[in-house]
Amino acid sequence: MKIKENLIHGLFMFNALLVVLVLIGIFALLVNTSIPAFREIDIKEFLFKAAWNPTSYVKETYGIGSMLVSSVMVTAGALLFAVPIGIGTAAYLSDVASPGVREMVKPIIEILAGIPSVVIGFLGIVFVGPIISRTFGLPNGLNAVNGSILLGVMALPTIISLSEDALSSVSKTYSDASLALGASRWQTVIRVKLPAALSGVIAACMLGMGRVIGETMIVLMATGCAPAMPKNFLDSVRTMTSTIAIELGEVPYYTTHYYALFAVGLVLFIITFCINMASDMVLHKYQGKRG
Site residues (CB under 8 A) for other proteins? 99, 171, 173-174, 176-184, 187, 191-192, 195-196
SS3 52: strand
Nearest-approach distance from CB 43 to other proteins, in angstroms? 46
Smaller CB distance to other proteins: residue 27 or 174?
174
Question: For residue 259, which of 45, 37, 56 has the smallest C-alpha distance?
Answer: 37
Specify the amino acid at residue 92: Y
Q: What is 55-124 written as a DSSP string? A: T-SS--EE--HHHHHHHHHHHHHHHHHHHHHHHHHHHIIIIIS-HHHHHHHHHHHHHHHHS-HHHHHHHI
Nearest-approach distance from CB 179 to other proteins, in angstroms? 7
Nearest-approach distance from CB 88 to other proteins, in angstroms? 18
Smaller CB distance to other proteins: residue 49 or 185?
185
Question: For residue 285, which of 218, 216, 198 has the smallest C-alpha distance?
Answer: 198
Burial class (CB in 10 A: 0-12, 13-18, 19+), 231: exposed
Nearest-approach distance from CB 195 to other proteins, in angstroms? 7
Smaller CB distance to other proteins: residue 8 or 177?
177
Smaller CB distance to other proteins: residue 48 or 186?
186
SS3 49: coil
Smaller CB distance to other proteins: residue 159 or 197?
197
Nearest-approach distance from CB 191 to other proteins, in angstroms? 7
User: Which helix (H) or strand (E) is 53 found in, with range?
Assistant: strand 52-53
Nearest-approach distance from CB 6 to other proteins, in angstroms? 47
Q: Alpha helices of 169-255 — where are they, by DSSP H?
A: 172-180, 185-188, 194-196, 198-214, 217-222, 240-247
Smaller CB distance to other proteins: residue 56 or 173?
173
